[in-house]
Structure 1
Amino acid sequence: MAFDSALALFWLKKAVSIMVQPPLAPLLVIAAGLLLAARSRRAGLRLAWLGVAATLLLSTPASVGWLLNRLETAPVVDAAAMRQAQAIVVLGAGKRRNAPEYGGETVNRLALERLRYAARLARTTGLPVLVSGGAPTGDIPEAVLMQATLEEDFSVPVRWVEKASLDTQQNARFSALPLRAAGVSRILLVTHAAHMPRAQAAFEEAGLQVIPAPTAWLGGTGAGDQVLGELPGPSAAYAGWYAVHEWLGLLAYRLTR
């Protein structure tokens, strides 16, 4: 098999991102602190406690909400904005590999949240839909699974299937080609609210006019319980991971432009 530099770079970025994101990054800081304590107890314990503090901050609703509030800035798309669009673009978010009830693979819950909202927009506006997502593992492209979900589960036809992209920037570059060929320049872009700043920047750089259509806000994860909802928990920890992922993605995007 020929060496694929783009695929190799994709997996390298994935490996690095795992190392610098929760939960692994704070655990590595704690481990480094405990190892350092064998030589310098004070410095090692300080480093270990720093890792503990990071873990708490990234799983506590208040601090996680602060991170998300600066990402989830796009408002809900309104009817007037919808009328300006010529097509709907929905971005992939991963797939579930072990889904025997669906015949082997299907979209994951993140992608399903985006597809559900895209289906609603498509039924409301009648606009054609493009799905975008490749196959980093070399099997079924995510866009193919997205198409099946929209057409079989939501009865929404898909006009364009972009199945070569491996990240958000490629989503934008590769999706722009069939859209421009069809005379489309203004799109409703469907993705998670926290992902919208990065996705919108990439699609605008690709030459498209973007009307944000965010969905699945993660802010306010503790709002359901006035007491326990303010304590660290799994929902806030997940939202904290997502927020860190997006902030690091924005940083990488700015450094590589």
Structure 2
Amino acid sequence: VVLHARGRTRPGQSCVLAGIVVAMLFSNPLVGEALLGSLEDDFSPAPVDSYPVVDAIVVLGGMTAPPLPPRLQVEVGDAFDRLLHGMRLLRAGRASTLVLCGGVISYLVGSELSEAERLARLTLEYGIAPGRLLLEDKSRNTYENGLFTARRLRERGWQRILLVTSASHMRRGVGVFERQGLDVIAAPTDFVVVDKPFSPMRLMPDVEALRASSRAVKEYVGILVYWLRGYL
């Protein structure tokens, strides 16, 4: 509007057009799948009983919402596969302890209940004994997940872990935990990009494709920032 009032419509129109082109590009399912798939393809899923026995199974948080009104209990998001996969590995005897990561970011979620505590509540609903849990409830990001978890593990003389997080997040997760001196075995889950037949509809803009593109771009930016800061 300001540009139009000043008689400078061409730059404004160019900006609008560029924005539309970028939005159309990143909302294309083929583009979204290519971007997110480039992260997920680094790690392949495996049956839970194919993993070696380790000191602990570490599950990274970022999948729950606190029980604020009108909710009556903790609610979960797409990444809940992380907790499910961690519990499957625990029940398969891959370790005797499940480490749940995630602190409190009250200004974002409006609750003083940590992510690790919320995850612990959910594991109890699935019949996991409290004595098999170790909570890392101070971290606010992936770097702190690795930093604080490594401290807790070293206190117990533990070194080898199965790291459970979303496949698209695993590259950064493994890098952070290895940087802390841990022996890390990736146990990826929450795969978004799957094999499916081509359909002309996959050429049409799609909200889920835009979400996949955004998730991939965010992760690549995170990897770059962590590399520059020496976290990887």
8 A contact 2:43–2:188 mirrored in 1: yes
Equivalent-residue separation in structure 2 for 1:162 and 1:199 (angstroms): 15
8 A contact 2:64–2:119 mirrored in 1: no
Give the secondary-structure state (helix, strand or coil) at the position aligned to 1:47: helix
8 A contact 1:93–1:108 mirrored in 2: no
The correspondence for 1:51, drawn from 2, 5, 19, is 19
Q: 1:145 is matched with which residue? A: 118
- Where relative contact order (Cα < 8 A, 6+ residues apart) is larger, the structure is 2
Compare 130-139 and 109-118 and name the one that shifted more. 109-118
Report the TM-score when normalising by structure 2. 0.85
Deviations 1:45-98 (A, max 9, x none): 222221112212222111112211221111114568621522100000143245
Residue 41 of structure 1 aligns with an amino acid whose one-letter code is T
| Aligned Cα root-mean-square deviation (Å) | 2.5
* Unmatched segments (≥5 aa) in structure 2: none
The correspondence for 1:61, drawn from 29, 51, 54, is 29
Change (3 A) 1:135 1:170: same
Q: 1:215 is matched with which residue? A: 189
Identity value in percent: 31
Give the secondary-structure state (helix, strand or coil) at the position aligned to 2:27: coil
Change (3 A) 1:87 1:35: farther
Q: 2:209 is matched with which residue? A: 236
8 A contact 1:123–1:156 mirrored in 2: no
* Unmatched segments (≥5 aa) in structure 1: 1-33
Give the secondary-structure state (helix, strand or coil) at the position aligned to 1:44: helix
Change (3 A) 1:219 1:126: closer
Change (3 A) 1:176 1:250: same
When the two structures are aligned, how many residues end up with a matched partner?
222
The correspondence for 2:133, drawn from 137, 152, 159, is 159
Q: 1:19 is matched with which residue? A: none
Residue 210 of structure 2 aligns with an amino acid whose one-letter code is A
Structure 2 counterparts to residues 112-151 of structure 1, below 5 A = 112-127=80-95, 128-137=97-106, 139-151=112-124
Task: Note the C-alpha offset of 1:150.
Answer: 1.2
Deviations 1:90-118 (A, max 9, x none): 000143245658635x2531342211111
8 A contact 1:190–1:214 mirrored in 2: yes
8 A contact 1:71–1:194 mirrored in 2: yes
Q: 1:26 is matched with which residue? A: none
Task: Note the C-alpha offset of 1:151.
Answer: 2.0
Q: 2:39 is matched with which residue? A: 71
Residue 56 of structure 1 aligns with an amino acid whose one-letter code is M
Equivalent-residue separation in structure 1 for 2:227 and 2:93 (angstroms): 34
The correspondence for 2:147, drawn from 145, 152, 173, is 173
Q: 2:64 is matched with which residue? A: 95
Equivalent-residue separation in structure 1 for 2:137 and 2:2 (angstroms): 45
Q: 1:20 is matched with which residue? A: none
Equivalent-residue separation in structure 2 for 1:118 and 1:81 (angstroms): 14
Change (3 A) 1:245 1:234: same
Equivalent-residue separation in structure 1 for 2:213 and 2:103 (angstroms): 26
8 A contact 1:71–1:197 mirrored in 2: yes
